[in-house]
Amino acid sequence: MTAVRRLTEDMINRIAAGEVVERPASVVKELVENAIDAGAKRVEIVTAGGGASLIRVTDDGGGMTHDDLGLAIDRHCTSKLTDDLLDIRTLGFRGEALASIGSVARLSIASRHASEPHGWEIVVEGGLVHPPRPAGLNAGTRVEVSDLFFSTPARLKFLKGERAESSAITDIVKRLAMAHPEVRFSLAGSDRGAIDYPVAHGDEPFVERLGQILSQDFVDNSLAIEATREGVRLSGYAGLPTYNRANGLQQFLFVNGRPVRDKLLMGALRAGYADVMSRDRHPVAALRIDLEPHGVDVNVHPAKSDVRFRDPGLVRGLIVGALRNAIHQAGHRSATTGGGATIAAFRTGAPPSAAAWRPSAPMPAFGNAAAPSWRDWANAPAPAPHFSEAAQPAFAAVSQPSADARANAVAANDPTDRPLGAARAQVHENYIIAQTDHGIVIVDQHAAHERLVYERLKTALARSGVARQILLIPDIIDLPEDDVARLLKRADELAELGLAIESFGPGAVAVRETPALLGELDTRSLLVDLADDLAEWDDTTRLREKLDHVAATMACHGSVRSGRRLRPEEMDALLREMEATPGSGQCNHGRPTYVELKLADIERLFGRR
Ligand code: ADP
Ligand code: MG
């Protein structure tokens, strides 16, 4: 074993840099945070080579004096921290970003403070500091970082492609710009399309900024959120449940003006939508939490994107409650309670009073009045049971099997002994009611169909045998440029999977062919979801490796919607196909495709057990 020795300053900085500077986007984050902390009203960012070859951030903030500049690039030198680590009012406070960056790249900082006649420039190369030289510039600071990771080649190898790094930078800038609508941001470079977010001058700068960054579409499809509890304020906008995405990249969360990716907050956001969104869909939201600095610890990780709240339960409750409230008030609640929960709700309900329990009209006259069972009802001989007036409307919606059908039902081949039974009726144009030997089955026709399409598609894709249908007129879909680029890059792979797209000028693609199995489909939302999927996957991930996922995304947009009336044979065919298809018991969103009520359950509902 070698003796214990003290690490050199340069080594210490490089170790710290491992945590602070993970990729080019982290450099951009640190530099832009410094500009905001310096009181800048305008921040200009330029990148090249996905930020690996160049990052330049120019601001019009307070700048640094000659002496400050010399100190700023030293580790643990900061102008921001007082003695109280829990009283943090700036984005930076650890005093290690510039030192870290200087140890793994070529860093040059030119800055001018109002108290000095001219500016100064300092250069650091892989930890080696050159003394400050006079420099001509207006008030403010210009930081240039080039050849990132030239001194730590191992890190360089971990960088993703230029496009991925450049879009990670865009993401960071969007988040910081969203948190600071009072500052103008521009981002440009040879590796990207330019963006510019001018200062919002209206009454609601945050909403204006959201419109600039997320599109007016989001603003129009979202709910204003505003709630305060015990000094913690939640404000912002949350998308309607129907305005959802395939991943969480469109979730923007801020704590005291700091963009965070905090598990607690993301979990609370999810929980707020739990009742109204399937597990594989993600809400779009931009939410700000503001509280007294002592209520939150941001010194959890060098990247400062995790936080610890002093009272996590309070914050979670505030978010979940406010979201549920807003969604409920918007009237967009969709009931997706599982069958088990329904039964449980019935079971746990207070025993009904005798008066409420007894129907006002005479009890229906069943064939066997003494002990009617489901079987008795279904096979009841004519005359048909006599229902009270009050009960009529509920049954009117049922397409009653004709007398003939009922006669057939008793025939020897009546499939009530099959797991999903014999179809008896379709109600509300989406639910198939089937009779089994031991109860009834209710099938969600839309969900079931979607699952079957998914399974067929998956099989076809695996065999490369996807039949395509050529669209008579190509669908032209407008999409953000990032999305267009992502999709076109994968055009060959998508074509293999039955989806033929091609470029249609900037910001649009033309869809020429779609998988025939999907029937008529909403190509726009399919492409949006596929682009979301691609954004999440590594550039090197082959779509074939994600076949299940792609098939699920496609099936979701191509299935027969509820609302189609099915003939009895069609219903039975659907039930038989479900029985023959593994995994057909739940739809692609994890909801059940059917629920079964055992006779015993039904009897319990009626207080017979
Ligand atoms: P921290 O932001 O945690 O203090 P940094 O290493 O990022 O640490 O910066 C060190 C110091 O350099 C800051 O505290 C600040 O005083 C100064 N500084 C850095 N960037 C700027 C800038 N753009 N304008 C003015 N001062 C800056
Ligand atoms: Mg900083």
Which numbered atom of ligand 1 lies nearest the CA of 35? 23
Residue whose CB lies within 8 A of the most ligand 1 atoms, among 13, 19, 29, 37, for a mutation test:
37
pLDDT of the residue at 286: 97
- Domains of the chain, earliest start first: 9-197 (3.30.565.10), 205-329 (3.30.230.10), 390-609 (3.30.1540.20)
C-alpha of residue 604 to centroid of ligand 2, in Å: 65
- What is the three-state SS of 364-402? CCCCCCCCCCHHHHHCCCCCCCCCCCCCHHHHHCCCCCC
**How does DSSP assign 296-351, residue by residue?**
EE-TTSTT----EESSHHHHHHHHHHHHHHHHHHTT-------HHHHHHHHHHSPP
pLDDT, mean over the chain = 81
Residue 465 vs residue 213, higher pLDDT: 213
> How is residue 298 written in tokens?
């941001």
Bridge partners, residue 343, by sequence: none
- Atom 16 (ligand 1) nearest CA: 79
Dihedral sign (CA 378, 382, 388, 393): positive
Q: Nearest-CA neighbor of 533 among 511, 520, 548?
A: 548
Q: Is the CB of residue 530 less than 8 Å from the CB of residue 550?
A: yes
Region of residue 127 (phi > 0: left; psi between -120 and 50: alpha; otherwise: beta): left
User: What are the pocket residues of ligand 1 if the criterion is a CB atom closer than 6 Å to any ligand atom?
Assistant: 30, 34-35, 38, 59, 61-64, 72, 77-80, 92-98, 141
Which of the residue ranges 117-121, 321-325, 530-534 would you say has the lowest mean pLDDT? 530-534
Which numbered atom of ligand 1 lies nearest the CA of 61? 24
Bridge partners, residue 441, by sequence: 434, 596
**How does DSSP assign 535-600, residue by residue?**
HHS-TT--GGGGHHHHHHHHHHHHSPPTT----HHHHHHHHHHHHHSTTTTB-TTS-BSEEEEEHH
What is the reported pTM? 0.61
> How is residue 79 written in tokens?
């102008």
pLDDT of the residue at 375: 30
C-alpha of residue 112 to centroid of ligand 2, in Å: 17
Q: Nearest-CA neighbor of 499 among 463, 438, 457?
A: 457
- Atom 17 (ligand 1) nearest CA: 72
pLDDT digits (tens, 9 = 90+) for 564-577: 788 888 899 889 98
Report the 10 Å Cβ neighbour count for 188.
15
Query: Does the pLDDT of residue 397 top 90, yes or no?
Result: no
Average pLDDT value for residue range 141-167? 90
Which numbered atom of ligand 1 lies nearest the CA of 30? 7
pLDDT digits (tens, 9 = 90+) for 279-307: 788 999 999 999 999 999 987 777 778 89
C-alpha of residue 384 to centroid of ligand 1, in Å: 84
Residue 203 vs residue 206, higher pLDDT: 206
Residue 230 vs residue 533, higher pLDDT: 230
Give the Å distances, CA to CA, from 573 to 216, 217, 431, 501, 590: 45, 41, 15, 34, 23
Which of the residue ranges 70-79, 305-314, 330-339, 376-385 would you say has the lowest mean pLDDT? 376-385
State percent of the chain over pLDDT 70. Answer: 83
Residue 593 vs residue 46, higher pLDDT: 46
pLDDT digits (tens, 9 = 90+) for 28-65: 999 999 999 999 999 999 999 999 999 999 999 999 99
- pLDDT band at residue 407 under the 50/70/90 scheme: very low
- Atom 13 (ligand 1) nearest CA: 78
Residue 415 vs residue 28, higher pLDDT: 28
